[in-house]
Amino acid sequence: MILTTTLIAKEIGGHITPNQADVVIDNAAKLEEGGAHSLGFFSNPKYEQSLYQTQCGAVIVPLGFKPQQSVSAVLIEHPNPYFAFCTVLTNHFNPNVHRTGIESTNVHPTVKLGEHIHIAATAYIEEGAVIGDNCIIYPGVYVGRNVVVGANTLLYPNVVVYADCIIGNHCIIQAGSVIGGDGFGFAPVNGKYMKIPQIGNVILEDWVEIGSNCSIDRATMGSTVIRTGTKLDNLVQIAHNVEVGEHTVLAAQTGIAGSTKVGAYSQFGGQTGVAGHLTIAPHTSVGGQGGITGNVTESHQKLTGTPATDVRTYLKSVASTRRIPELVKEITLIKEEIARLKSGE
């Protein structure tokens, strides 16, 4: 099927200004880099000048947008241009074209396979596992005993899913991530540390995305749970028995210690650290390199710093800290003045 601006508008529920020509689209591009058959999008007023200069054949723009200069592209209006653009990318330009067929010779006979799945060569699927419909499993993936992988899930190369873990529907796990490795549990005995068996599992609910080289540890007992719609950036560490609420986003190098519960719709900036056995209220936002050392009991807070505190309080503290050299100089002058007074000068 040839993709045109008319078909795109119909697909996303958009609106094309009457009398605009139908343009064939065969790629997606930034406004600054597009060509005559490229689709771009515009939503941030900061980049409006790029819209007037673009060579894209079509651009998705906000509903009701009125250009202030001439635009060569066909304009497709939509209430949420970025979302609409992503929809077109997913449906037509996603490099992960769905393939089917079992190439691997390392699939245990007891594995239950859904329809229209692809298991690449060198992937290894242990006994009792369940692979849902439309899954894609890339080379080098290891799926352990009794693992359940939901429908429409994508496991990139060298992903490891340990025994008994459950992966939901529509999940994406990027290359090199480990789901269900042992939690960091050791008991001090006679000056040494004895390993505590980690007999729980990890549960990823639906629409969860895990970046590359993440580690999500299995629970000591029970489950480590990543709730629906949550997104983890690269290099994120989730410890045993943690529960991350739905639609939470965790940026790169965030680490959450054991048994902490993170509320839904929270946002953690890069290198955020969270101590163990805490409860974090829903809608908590933490700035990059923030350190949470105590419970966050009120929702919708914006925190930063270590120990994490309200952003405004933190900024005032930083401003005061910058004055320390000046204050030390003033104190030194005061001490000298007091010394002169005492000496009768």
pLDDT per residue as tens, the chain (345 positions):
689 999 999 999 999 977 788 999 999 999 999 999 999 999 999 999 999 999 999 999 999 999 999 999 999 999 999 999 999 998 898 776 667 799 999 999 999 999 999 999 999 999 999 999 999 999 999 999 999 999 999 999 999 999 999 999 999 999 999 999 999 999 999 999 999 999 999 999 999 999 999 999 999 999 999 999 999 999 999 999 999 999 999 999 999 999 999 999 999 999 999 999 999 999 999 999 999 999 999 999 999 998 988 888 888 887 888 888 888 999 999 998 898 888 876
The two beta strands, 261-262 and 209-210, are: unpaired
Type and span of the H or E element at 232: strand 231-232
How is domain 5-93 classified at the architecture level of CATH?
A: 3-Layer(aba) Sandwich (3.40)
Type and span of the H or E element at 127: none
Three-state secondary structure call for residue 161:
strand
Report which DSSP code applies to 20: P
CATH match of 159-307 with 3.20.20.70: no
Whether the link from the prior residue into 109 is cis, omega within 30° of 0, is no
For residue 272, give the nearest of 240, 227, 232 by alpha carbon. 232
pLDDT of residue 97: 61
* Torsion angle, alpha carbons of 277, 283, 284, 287, to 10: 140
Catalytic residue (choose from 15, 98, 116, 240): 240
For residue 296, give the nearest of 255, 249, 304 by alpha carbon. 304
**Residue 15, strand partner residues:** 77
pLDDT of residue 96: 67
Contacts of 148 (CB under 8 A, 6+ apart): 129, 130, 132, 165, 166, 167
Q: Residue 251: exposed, middle, or buried by beta-carbon count in 10 A (0-12, 13-18, 19+)? A: buried
Give residue-wise pLDDT tens across range 232-264.
999 999 999 999 999 999 999 999 999 999 999
pLDDT of residue 342: 84
The two beta strands, 223-226 and 201-204, are: parallel
Q: Active site includes 240?
A: yes
Buried/exposed code over 168-195 (b: 16+ C-beta within 10 A; e: otherwise): bbbbbbbbbbbbbeebbbeeeeeeeeee
pLDDT of residue 334: 93
pTM tops 0.75, yes or no: yes
State the Cα–Cα distance between residues 31 and 16, nearest whole angstrom: 18
